[in-house]
Amino acid sequence: MCSADIHATDLRILTIAQVRFILTGLGNPDLFPASFQSFWRKDAPADLACRVLAMGPDHDLEQEAPVPDQPWSFVLADGRCTLTRRDQAGRALWRIFTQTAFEDATLVWHPRYFESVYGSYERSWATGLGLSLLIFRLLRHRGLVFHGNAAEIDGQGILCLGVSGSGKSTLARLLDAAGGRVLTDERPVLRRAQKSEHATGSADFHVYGSPWPSSAGMAQNTSASLARIYFLEHGAENRLTPLAPREAFNRLIHVTTIPWQDPALFDPCLATVEALLRHVPCAVLAFRPTPAVIDLIREDLQHHATVHS
């Protein structure tokens, strides 16, 4: 590891989905993207913490041979983890040293290629680094990150999931225009209540906004109790098709950020997915980009609330 001087050692507190990131070493909060602004809250409720020490350029990374077929690598040994991110040529861009719980993470980066890809340490939080830290900190605490949007409408939280081009940002704008509270239009975070493994009911699951928005630019530091999951598709008409848990599982794993490289990493994620699908009903939402789709969602939520009241 490098021996770079550590500057600005005052603590900076970034809270995302009740995970408190304590940033030390290099870095300036004023240089983070605007979407992070509402997440700089020392007083936000949090039940997990991750101390991130940014050490800066590490010249040892310059000496490493490229590994073109490994954009990510995870080395797990004796309760310690080394996580490396590489560019398309296989050159190491950054590396995190931590224990498997990700309570403390020390970060170093390539002296040249890191800034050419990310621009700065602060901007790297918006393009993969920060997301990786959140995913791994939540790994053993019933937390997942999805591709989609999350919103609260008429007091109920929804996840609207889909691959790129499925209409996530379009639907987020429609939800916002209809009075819904959009938490994020790109990277919703899910957490399950830290209580009995035998707890039942969708109220155990909450969705959170995150500072990683898409084209709609929506990123709120707030949460909602999850009632429904919708898988988005374009359609000639607005239509809901309920899904059995097995059918939903095959769709969900394609829009969930899961580290597949090692069973120690992906097994906890799959356990959370299975619990989620046991308790939260899912449906395919085929829709046209008009306000009428929000009426359909509201009717579905009202029906769901009536059935379970």
Summarize pLDDT for 224-268 with one digit per residue, the tens: 999 999 999 999 999 999 999 999 999 999 999 988 877 878 899
User: Per the structure, how many domains does the chain have?
Assistant: 2
Asked if 125 and 16 sit in the same domain, the reply is: yes
Asked if 262 and 280 sit in the same domain, the reply is: yes
Asked if 84 and 134 sit in the same domain, the reply is: yes
Mean pLDDT of the chain: 91
pLDDT of res. 193 = 86
Task: Give the residue from 111, 138, 165 where a domain finishes.
Answer: 138
Asked if 108 and 225 sit in the same domain, the reply is: no
Residues 44-93 pLDDT 10s: 899 999 999 999 999 999 999 999 989 999 898 888 999 999 999 999 99
Q: Is residue 5 part of a domain?
A: no
Residues 155-166 pLDDT 10s: 999 999 998 889
Per residue, the 3-state secondary structure of the chain, as one string, reads CCCCCCCCCCCEEEEECCEEEEEEECCCHHHCCHHHHHHCCCCCCCCEEEEEEEEEECHHHHHCCCCCCCCEEEEEECCEEEEEEECCCCCEEEEEEEECCCCEEEEEECCCHHHHHHCCHHHHCCCCHHHHHHHHHHCCCCEEEECEEEEEECCEEEEEECCCCCCHHHHHHHHHHCCCEEEECCCCEEEECCCCCCCCCHHHEEEECCCCCCCCCCECCCEEEEEEEEEEEECCCCEEEEECHHHHHHHHHHHECCCCCCHHHHHHHHHHHHHHHHHCCEEEEEECCCCHHHHHHHHHHHHHHHHCC
pLDDT of res. 293 = 97
Task: Give the residue from 123, 138, 153 where a domain finishes.
Answer: 138
What is the rounded CA–CA span in Å between residue 159 and residue 136? 21
Q: Is residue 1 part of a domain?
A: no
Task: Please give the residue that has the higher pLDDT: either 106 or 259.
Answer: 106
Q: Is residue 186 part of a domain?
A: yes
* Structural domain that includes position 213: 144-307
pLDDT of res. 5 = 37
Structure tokens given for 91: 């050159």
Task: Give the residue from 117, 138, 159 where a domain finishes.
Answer: 138
| Proportion of the chain above pLDDT 90, given as a percent | 79
pLDDT of res. 219 = 96
Are 257 and 145 in contact by the 8 Å Cβ rule? The answer is: yes
Does the pTM surpass 0.85? The reply is yes
Structure tokens given for 98: 């931590």
Q: Is residue 234 part of a domain?
A: yes
Q: Is residue 6 part of a domain?
A: no
Asked if 42 and 176 sit in the same domain, the reply is: no
pLDDT of res. 309 = 58
Asked if 113 and 91 sit in the same domain, the reply is: yes
CATH number for position 266: 3.90.228.20
pLDDT band at 168 (very low <50, low <70, confident <90, very high): very high
Asked if 21 and 156 sit in the same domain, the reply is: no
Asked if 178 and 98 sit in the same domain, the reply is: no
